[in-house]
Amino acid sequence: MLRILAMISLFWAVALVPATAQEVADDARAATGGAQTLEDILRRQEGLKMDDSFRSDLTGDPDAAAASTDQLGTLGGASDPDLWRGLRYNAADVSTQGRGPAATTLIQDGGMWWLSFREGLLLSFGAYLMGGTLLALGLFYLVRGRIRIDGEKTGRSITRFKAFERFGHWLLATSFLILGATGLITLFGRKFLIPVFGPESFSTIAVGSKWVHNNISWAFIVALVIIFVVWVVHNIPDRTDLRWMAKAGGLFGGEHPPAKKFNAGQKLIFWSVIILGGSIAASGLSLLFPFEFNLFGHTFSTLNSWGVPGWFGAGDLPYPLQPQEEMQYTQLWHAIVSFVLLAIIFAHIYLGSVGMEGAFDAMGKGEVEEQWAREHHSIWAEETLGAKQSKEGGA
Amino acid sequence: MKAFLFSLLALVVISVGANQILVRMEDAGAIGSTTSVNARVD
């Protein structure tokens, strides 16, 4: 008898266990009354994709509403949870007194990826890029040492940059460095400065940083225009750049390849500053005047129409974007491009100061040692000295 | 050195000047906050 009972129990156990995963999920959902299950919550926490149509589709049914004269009919067929789901999935009919473009999006559920990216990967990317660049420059200094003037110094100097050129350079440099510092405070402050200074002190620092960052940006834009106008003629790529690049500019020893006023490395810096700096300025203006410029929606739409995402095996880029999404993409772009430009500028600062003998004089005094000019910018030096001699001869 | 000092002066003048222009534009209602929300769900 016991054996028979055991077999019957085993049969029912085997018959009941192999339910499909969907059945299990449905049962679990039924057990929560149609709300999220533990599995849903865990998938969301792990950042996995989940089918949340059980929530997004459940935003009320006006057709099933009781008449407004009846009890429970005042919400038009939508309960409070239906209403909040409608707000979360942007399906609710919201009107606001504020007429801003983002005013009617009361809950932006899609912004969570931006928040986690901004708090995580973006900070890691920035820290590794800047730290890695500084480390690489330190190693380069240890291996190569300071790049000295090889020949004998002449004691004569040659004008490298006029006062207005130096003014434009320093306006750009100081504004960029201040923008970089205040930007880093804004980006890293919550994680690294609050634990050190406390929330109240950091609040003062953050408010000050924001004011400085927002207003100094105009000086950066003005300087960017000055630099472009003054130097663009000298930064058009030509054949001498190929020879310079082939010899890595003589950075690792060997002969100095000929160069005009700017060598290929400086031209790379120039165009990086103009293109990346221009992009930072454009995205910065978009952040300064929220919701006024839609930089990404139009871009994504154009890229989709060209089929660009498909080249990389990806699906279409999101379009249209909610106003908040525009700002989120803009913020990430602003920060990522700024990190890249900061890393490039670190290398520029290194070579313009401790990395190369005589280089700082070009921007410090505007005059450089003649031998330095002959070694690093031989074509320009010959032209300038030739013009100087013919002028003196003519006089 | 003079160029550097002039650039610092320009930095301050441009930044404060831009700030004053923006503050006046905001006061005049030409630009300003669009984030003030007083929502009603119909």
- Test A163 with B11 for CB contact under 8 angstroms: no
What is the predicted pLDDT for the residue at A389? 77
Range A289-296 average pLDDT: 88
- Test B39 with A103 for CB contact under 8 angstroms: yes
pLDDT band at A371, cuts 50/70/90?
very high
A218 touching B, CB under 8 A? yes
Does A262 have pLDDT greater than 50?
A: yes
CA angle A86, A87, A91 (to 5 degrees): 50
Judging contacts by C-beta atoms under 8 Å, the chain B residues touching residue A166 are: 3-4, 7
- Test A290 with B34 for CB contact under 8 angstroms: yes
- Among A234-248, A267-281, A332-346, the range scoring the smallest mean pLDDT is A234-248
Closest residue in B to A83 (Cα–Cα): B41
Contact A314, A96 (CB under 8 A): no
pLDDT band at A229, cuts 50/70/90?
very high
| CA nearest neighbour of A348 among A292, A242, A257, A277 | A277
Residue of B1, B5, B6, B7 to mutate when probing chain A, most A C-beta within 10 A: B7
Alpha helices of A189-294 — where are they, by DSSP H? 194-197, 199-231, 239-246, 264-288
Q: Give me the residue from B7, B37, B40 closest to A170, CB to CB.
A: B7
CA-to-CA dists, residue A156 to A17, A220, A380, angstroms? 93, 35, 16
CA angle A200, A203, A209 (to 5 degrees): 150
- Among A70-84, A229-243, A291-305, A338-352, the range scoring the smallest mean pLDDT is A70-84
* 3-class secondary-structure state, position A278: helix
What is the predicted pLDDT for the residue at A109? 76
pLDDT band at A9, cuts 50/70/90?
low
pLDDT in tens, A29-59: 777 777 788 888 888 788 777 888 888 888 8
Distance, in Å, from the CA atom of A338 to the CA atom of A280, rounded to the nearest integer, reads 7
Does A253 have pLDDT greater than 50?
A: yes
Judging contacts by C-beta atoms under 8 Å, the chain B residues touching residue A218 are: 14-15, 17-18
Distance, in Å, from the CA atom of A67 to the CA atom of A73, rounded to the nearest integer, reads 5
Judging contacts by C-beta atoms under 8 Å, the chain B residues touching residue A106 are: 37, 39
* 3-class secondary-structure state, position A147: strand
What is the predicted pLDDT for the residue at B39? 53
Task: Identify the top-confidence range among A285-294, A326-335, B24-33.
Answer: A326-335
User: How close A215 gets to chain B, by Cα (Å)?
Assistant: 5
CB-defined contacts A:B, below 8 A: 95
Contact A318, A325 (CB under 8 A): yes
A95 touching B, CB under 8 A? yes
Here the tokens at position A196 are 């050190």
Contact A264, A248 (CB under 8 A): no
pLDDT band at A241, cuts 50/70/90?
very high
Contact A183, A338 (CB under 8 A): yes
Q: What does R_g of chain B's alpha carbons equal in angstroms?
A: 18
- Test B19 with A215 for CB contact under 8 angstroms: yes
* 3-class secondary-structure state, position B41: strand
Does A264 have pLDDT greater than 70?
A: yes
Task: Give φ, ψ of A150 to 5 degrees.
Answer: -70, -50
Pairing label, strands B39-41, A94-96: antiparallel
Distance, in Å, from the CA atom of A359 to the CA atom of A351, rounded to the nearest integer, reads 7
B→A contacts (Cβ < 8 Å), by residue, are: 1-4, 6-8, 10-11, 14-19, 31, 33-42
pTM: predicted TM-score of the whole model, two decimal places? 0.81
Closest residue in B to A175 (Cα–Cα): B11
Task: Give the up-direction half-sphere exposure of residue B10: CA atoms within 13 A in the CB hemisphere.
Answer: 25
Contact A85, A56 (CB under 8 A): yes
Distance, in Å, from the CA atom of A49 to the CA atom of A47, rounded to the nearest integer, reads 7
Distance, in Å, from the CA atom of A300 to the CA atom of A309, rounded to the nearest integer, reads 9
| Residue with the two structure tokens 């929220």 | A290
Distance, in Å, from the CA atom of A349 to the CA atom of A368, rounded to the nearest integer, reads 17
Classify residue A262 as left (phi > 0), alpha (psi -120 to 50) or beta.
beta
Does A15 have pLDDT greater than 50?
A: no
Q: Which of 354-373 (A) contact B at CB < 8 A?
A: 364-366
Terminal C-alpha separation, chain B = 65
Instruction: Report the percent of chain A where pLDDT is more than 90.
Output: 60
What is the predicted pLDDT for the residue at A323? 87
What is the predicted pLDDT for the residue at A90? 76
Distance, in Å, from the CA atom of A57 to the CA atom of A34, rounded to the nearest integer, reads 12
- Test A175 with B11 for CB contact under 8 angstroms: yes
User: How close A101 gets to chain B, by Cα (Å)?
Assistant: 7
Instruction: Report the percent of chain A where pLDDT is more than 70.
Output: 88
Give the list of residues 6+ apart from residue A244 with CB closer than 8 angstroms, or none. Answer: A257, A258, A259, A263, A264, A265
Does A370 have pLDDT greater than 70?
A: yes
Instruction: Report the percent of chain B where pLDDT is more than 90.
Output: 45
| CA nearest neighbour of A119 among A197, A187, A42 | A187
CA-to-CA dists, residue A94 to A75, A80, A181, A333, angstroms? 14, 14, 40, 30
Q: Give me the residue from B2, B18, B37 closest to A218, CB to CB.
A: B18
CA angle A135, A223, B33 (to 5 degrees): 95
